[in-house]
A and B are shown apart, each in its own frame.
Chain A
Amino acid sequence: MDDLTEMLKGTLEGCVLHIIGSEETYGYAITRRLNELGFADVVEGTVYTILLRLERNGFVQVTKRPSGVGPPRKFYALNDAGREELATFWAKWEYITARINKLREGGE
């Protein structure tokens, strides 16, 4: 599906939080994971800006490790604030999907 980007924008941060939440990982791997999920439009630059925002907001713990090739990689893991933010994201997601499904089914 093309042109998902606009719709995805608000939720992509939550997706990245979730991916980091399941295991400590780095930008390239996160991008690949999202691509595998079917979000083909997501490029590493997009993920990178999200990671910067997460870092700035204090949701992640960053560790630099040598990568074998080239400069060291930055690995990201969730801290307590990040886990809280992730829980909030899923709560919001539940809320929105429930409302929208209701709308579609013609409920009140």
Chain B
Amino acid sequence: MNFWETITGNDLTREWKAFEVRAQALPADHRAAWEQIKAHLFPYGDFTGRNLMPIMDGALGLLEQTAADGQSIDEVLGDDVQGFCAALAGGEGARTYRDRWRRQLNRNVARKLHRLGG
């Protein structure tokens, strides 16, 4: 990754396109799962979403492999896509939006309490 790509996010756009091309080749229910996985993984993204790229690549790889095996999406992911995504992103120690919101909330509450003389 060079400086220009870091600034513009060019490389990300290109990677996304490559992901989508790969996703197009999946059978319908696997593709639907891909959409779900994307939605569930976004909250784990950092500012640029760059940290998600290897995770997305891995998830897509799993879908491709299992589709090639002829496994149904139910066999692959069960009914807990959200849990799957959390486990996928979890080990990375990725700072999430939720953490940020929580911190913001805590700060605001602390400030208000302080103003009240609490």
Given contacts A28-B71, A52-B58, 10 further A-B contacts (CB under 8 A): A28-B66, A43-B78, A44-B71, A44-B77, A45-B76, A45-B80, A52-B91, A53-B91, A56-B91, A71-B61
Judging by beta carbons under 8 Å apart, are B69 and A69 in contact? yes
Interface residues on A, range: 10 to 19
B65 neighbours in A (Cβ, 8 Å): 27-28, 67, 70-71, 73
B67 (CB) vs chain A CBs: closest residue: A70
Docked Cα-Cα span, A71 to B25, in Å, equals 12
Q: Of A41, A56, A70, which is in contact with the most chain B CB atoms at under 10 Å from its CB?
A: A70
* Count of residues in B whose CB is under 8 Å from the partner chain: 21
Enumerate chain A interface residues (CB-CB to B < 8 A): 27-28, 41, 43-46, 48-49, 52-53, 56, 67, 69-71, 73
B96 CB to nearest A CB, Å: 17
